[in-house]
Structure 1
Amino acid sequence: MIKNILLLITCCWILLGCVSSNTAELDISQSMQTVPDTAKFIDPDYYIWGSSMVEGSDGKYHLFYSRWHKSYGHNAWLTHSEIAHAVADKPLGPYKHVDIGLPARGKNYWDGLSTHNPTVHKFGDKYYIYYMGNTGDGKVMKGFNFSHRNNQRIGVAVANSPYGPWKRTDTPLINTSENNNAWDALMVSNPSVLQKADGSFLMVYKAVAKKAPLPAGGPVVHLMATAKSPIGPFTKHVDPVFTKVGEKFPAEDPYIWLQGNQYWAIVKDMKGAFTDSGKSLALFNSQNGFDWHKANMPLVSKLEINWQSGKQKVAHLERPQIWFKEGKPAILFCAADETREHSYNVHIPLIEIEKLK
């Protein structure tokens, strides 16, 4: 009897050890370093929003970012955004604009008038920009132009070099579902993609349903999709992720990655659904990439930037994108602003700056 009890206890300890070894701990907030005052990409003539960086075979660092002219106002991201390209000698910058990666190409294309919120990857020997594109009437409005907002779709552009040329498709990579009851019946946008250990690809994307009155629709959710190739076709999974009971729009802008045997995501917490800090950036993890849970240490950042010259509170800190060094998160790129009159991108080191030189 005693031997059986000891055997049962031993088995339980082994099982607990296996479980704990598969449950990694990650506290992004504690790895965030002081931000050099120069680690800021700003242009006096343009709003700058989401940015994503990849290291090129030329040894340079290539930043792809959303921009639109200040004269149009903040909400012109819907109608006049373009994905531009900047280059730096060091991963924290300073970055210098060099060209337009995905310019407007005519309203008859599904992404012909606006390209926005890029996330860039190198898979194999090619570069891939996943992005939101749309078309519409082209009118700048103080509020939302719903002819553009509801035409948001997801695309991918492919090139052999970060300098392009970028090959775009005549149809979206991810389109809305034909079923009017689907979670993504109204519009889809803001993709984030990772490559799994087996070589396949996992995407998370923002979706809006038609379950609430149009033109806004709702609720706003996030869905997963999988593919064997970086250019698809992607198979959608029907269950929303990053949700909270009673909330119609709890999260936005998820960035996903695989680290060790865990999947991780940083999301924009819209108003404190997942942290005690109100609007913030929050951390999630998953064992399989489909079932997501709030991490044990969920707070990534409040609405503040810890510059070398001092802390600064901001109105928005969004569009998290990570650049990795030797497989570990090294820089967190975020869109930021103090008011809606102007915006920029900040590059937050997650390891000591000396290690990035």
Structure 2
Amino acid sequence: MKAKLTFLIIFFSSASIFAQDNLKISDKIQPISESSIFNSPDFFNWGGSIIKGEDNKYHLFYSRWPKSTNFTGWLLYSEIAHAVSDTPSGPWKYKETALSARGKGYWDAITAHNPKIKYFEGKYYLYYISTNLGDNLDYNDANLLETATTGYSHPNWKILRPNQRTGVAVAESLNGPWTRKDEPLIEPSGPITTLTVNPAIDQGKDGKYYLIVKGDKPNETKFIRNQAMAIGDRPDGPFVIQSQPVIDFMDTEDMSLWFDKDRNYFYAVFHAHQMIGMMSSEDGLHWEKATEFQIMEKMIKMKDGRLIKPDRLERPFVFIENGEVKVLGLAGKIGDDSFIYTIPLSQ
């Protein structure tokens, strides 16, 4: 009897270390109030990444750019802003601008966009994307504004888009100062080409850092974006892109990655044309549709019964606290305005 009891104790204790892809987010999504919608009168607010600070407050790092530059101004005028809240679902209050474009002569000369904030090895790492106009250093603000307001058809767009790369800034405090690297973190290769953008990163159980970046799908005539995995020994690189893509079977964007220590599994949420979805991986290299592949359709439920259907609903982000998924963040565009939604997830 004692031997059988000992076996059962060992079995159930060891079972917790086995990989289990059983995470469900859809049934945790709660209706929201206005306090979970972050909007600014003069700026487009977009994306967002949440972290809990040493002050026990919650810090949101997000993209914003002047509405006067049109929505397409994100590629020219975005900056990384910092907002604070007492809860991870808001309300949020703008505190400061953390990063902006560095200007001519730098790889991140123009725009600072799509941030992810992480805490690794005693420091804060602020990942972002940026671009430049290459050898053209004769431009002025009037040229940039014309590009922003014209949008995708402007000749400069054909230079700015492929020059987009991912970078990182490091600080000992969420309030900065932020020290940037002089070069981008990674160049496109393997399952992606053209650009490396929209970083998502976490540390695996092996101590290595797993970084997802988006690029164009190689040898593809249609406009399809792939998600690639890169691995490094340090949070600021160098990183090596792996040959196996995270997603290449559909057009996706904006992944948010985390390693679930309880389930011993990697998860990554993304947005596609009609849904917010989720991929999973036991080792960070081989990815499949998660057990719950579709998290939600592209609509927001309000506590007063309204159903908001934005023109665009993108940039999913999952905030984890004490090993539990606490908030699903999204960015939405309705008409000529944009919003960050921080949706509480029930426990």
After TM superposition, the score normalised by the length of structure 1 is 0.83
- Confirm or deny that 1:161 pairs with 2:173: yes
Q: Which residue pairs with 1:87 in the alignment?
A: 84
From 321, 327, 342, the equivalent of 1:325 is 321
Change beyond 3 A, Cα 1:33–1:200: same
Q: CA deviation at 1:218?
A: 5.5
- 1:186 is aligned to 2:199: no
CA distance in 1, matches of 2:132, 2:334: 29
Query: Are 1:111 and 2:108 matched, yes or no?
Result: yes
Quick check: 20-29 or 183-192, which moved more?
20-29
Q: Describe the superposition over 1:81-114 as per-residue Cα deviations: whole angstroms up to 9, x where unpaired.
A: 1111111222222111111111122132111211
Query: How does 1:119-158 map onto structure 2 within 5 Å?
Result: 119-136=116-133, 138=144, 139-144=147-152, 145-158=157-170
Secondary structure class of the residue paired with 1:75: helix
Q: Which among 269, 272, 292 is matched to residue 269 of structure 1?
A: 272
Q: CA deviation at 1:345?
A: 0.3
The 5 Å alignment of 1:308-323 reads 308-310=303-305, 311-323=307-319
Question: What residue in structure 2 maps to residue 8 of structure 1?
Answer: none
Q: Deviations over 1:198-223 (max 9, x none)?
A: 2211011101256357xxx8542111
Q: Which runs of 5+ in 2 are unaligned?
A: 1-10, 134-138
How many residues of Structure 1 are paired with residues of Structure 2 in the alignment?
317
Quick check: 1:203 aligned with 2:204? no
Secondary structure at the aligned position of 1:38 is classed as: helix
**How many Å apart are 1:141 and its aligned residue?**
4.0
* Higher deviation after alignment, 88-97 or 67-76: 88-97
Mapped to 1, the partners of 2:178 and 2:218 lie a distance apart of 33
Deviates more, 1:157-166 or 1:230-239: 230-239
Candidates 61, 74, 77, aligned match of 2:74: 77
AA paired with 2:24?
D
Distance in 2 (alpha carbons) for counterparts of 1:70 and 1:222:
30
Deviation at 1:238, TM superposition (A): 2.0
1:243 is aligned to: 248
Question: Which amino acid is 1:206 matched to?
Answer: K
Q: Which amino acid aligns with 1:140?
A: A
Retained in 1: the 8 A contact 2:244–2:286? no
Specify which of 42, 46, 49 is matched with residue 52 of structure 1.
49
Deviation at 1:116, TM superposition (A): 0.6
Other-structure match for 2:3: none
2:333 counterpart of 1:334: no
Deviation at 1:21, TM superposition (A): 5.6
Amino acid at match of 1:27: K
Q: Secondary structure at the match of 2:27?
A: helix
Aligned partner of 2:230 in structure 1 is 225
Residue 3 of structure 1 corresponds to none
Secondary structure at 2:26's aligned position in 1? helix
Aligned partners of 2:238, 2:342: CA distance in 1, in Å?
33
Cα distance between partner residues in 2 of 1:333 and 1:241: 21
Which AA in structure 1 matches 2:232?
A: A
Moved more, 106-115 or 152-161: 106-115
RMSD, aligned α-carbons: 2.2
Tell me which residue corresponds to 2:184: 172
SS at match of 2:230: strand
Q: Secondary structure at the match of 1:186?
A: strand
State the 1:241 CA deviation. 2.1
Unaligned runs of 5+ in 1: 1-13, 271-278, 353-357
2:19 maps to what in 1?
A: 22
Cα distance in 1, alignment partners of residues 218 and 201 from structure 2: 25
Q: 1: CA distance between counterparts of 2:72 and 2:338?
A: 12
In structure 2, relative to structure 1, the CA distance for the partners of 1:169 and 1:21 (3 Å cut) is closer
In 1, Cα distance between equivalents of 2:230 and 2:220: 24
Deviates most, 285-294 or 217-226: 217-226
Moved more, 34-43 or 87-96: 87-96
